């Protein structure tokens, strides 16, 4: 198949589009939308954001050396775009977008209360790369919206309707295709494998598939239980 060569550029997609909040002491807090953001180290937990020097937020970041990364959701999508096309020089983005500054645990800059995850960061290094300055930062605290904790206290982040950004457009996350390590998981049920090669075309089909899948799983479990109880009965009758 023929391939078309593009001039080298940024084509690593999808990426998160996050709302980064920052604040100079005594001033109004500000939010800048950042797509050039990433996780760069697990331990210590570190992230990076790249910001152009002409952004209003850039000077704040340089001065305070701290910021909060706020994950964005479908409900926050419009605000995410707005904070990426308007400057804090001219307006108060929290006010304009009816967002609530939340008090951070370890830094002075507030988070965004409406965001499911606030990641508080302290800048450790600034790299002047070219068009953008990269702020390398250590994660010093993380707070999550308790609405996404299930009965057993597990954080259900994927229920938060997170948003992703790809080639100039925002998207809701699609259907789940598997989980970490599923490609080599031997315990994976046969039906899960068959689902992998079968792509439902719409939401209704996906729901039907999912319910069929759950039924198959339940049936398999019933069979297993039946086998186990028959075995136990046989053991007992031997005694």
Ligand X SMILES: Cc1cc2nc3c(=O)[nH]c(=O)nc-3n(C[C@H](O)[C@H](O)[C@H](O)COP(=O)(O)O)c2cc1C
Binding site for ligand X (CB under 6 A): 17, 30, 32-36, 50-52, 55-57, 81, 84-89, 132, 165
| Nearest in space to 107 (alpha carbons), one of 94, 121, 93 | 121
Least CB distance to ligand X at residue 127 (A): 14
Q: Between 32 and 68, whose beta carbon lies closer to ligand X?
A: 32
Closest CB to ligand X among residues 35, 162: 35
Min separation Cβ 3 and ligand X, Å: 28
Nearer to ligand X by Cβ, of 15 and 141: the residue is 15
The encoded tokens of residue 225 equal 């239980």
Q: What's the CA angle centered on 70, arms 125 and 116, to 5 degrees?
A: 145
CA-closest candidate to residue 50, choices 35, 39, 70: 35
**Min dist. Cβ of residue 23 to ligand X (A):** 12
Nearest residue to ligand X, using CB?
A: 84
CB of 35 to ligand X, least distance (A): 4
By beta-carbon proximity to ligand X, the closer residue of 85 and 147 is 85
* Sheet (strand 18-22) strand order: 30-34, 18-22, 66-70, 117-128, 133-144, 46-51, 37-41
Q: Which residues contact 77 (CB under 8 A, 6 or more apart)?
A: 163, 170
């Amino acid at each position: 198949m023929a391939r078309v060569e593009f001039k080298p550029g940024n084509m690593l997609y999808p990426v998160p589009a996050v709302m980064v909040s920052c604040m100079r002491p005594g001033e109004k807090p500000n939010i800048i939308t950042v797509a050039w953001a990433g996780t760069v180290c697990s331990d210590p937990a570190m992230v990076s954001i790249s910001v152009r020097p002409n952004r209003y937020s850039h000077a704040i970041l340089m001065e305070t050396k701290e910021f909060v990364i706020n994950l964005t959701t479908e409900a926050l999508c419009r605000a995410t775009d707005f904070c990426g096309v308007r400057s804090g020089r001219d307006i108060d983005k929290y006010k304009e977008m009816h967002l609530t500054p939340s008090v951070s645990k370890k830094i002075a800059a507030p988070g965004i209360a409406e965001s499911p995850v606030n990641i508080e960061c302290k800048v450790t290094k600034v790299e002047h790369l070219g068009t953008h300055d990269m702020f390398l930062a250590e994660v010093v605290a993380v707070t999550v919206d308790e609405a996404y904790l299930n009965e057993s206290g597990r954080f259900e982040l994927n229920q938060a309707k997170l948003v992703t950004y790809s080639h100039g457009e925002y998207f809701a996350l699609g259907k789940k295709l598997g989980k970490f390590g599923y490609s080599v998981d031997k315990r994976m049920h046969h039906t899960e494998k068959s689902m992998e090669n079968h792509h439902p075309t719409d939401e209704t089909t996906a729901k039907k598939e999912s319910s069929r899948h759950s039924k198959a799983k339940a049936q398999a479990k019933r069979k297993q239980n039946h086998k186990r109880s028959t075995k136990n009965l046989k053991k007992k009758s031997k005694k």
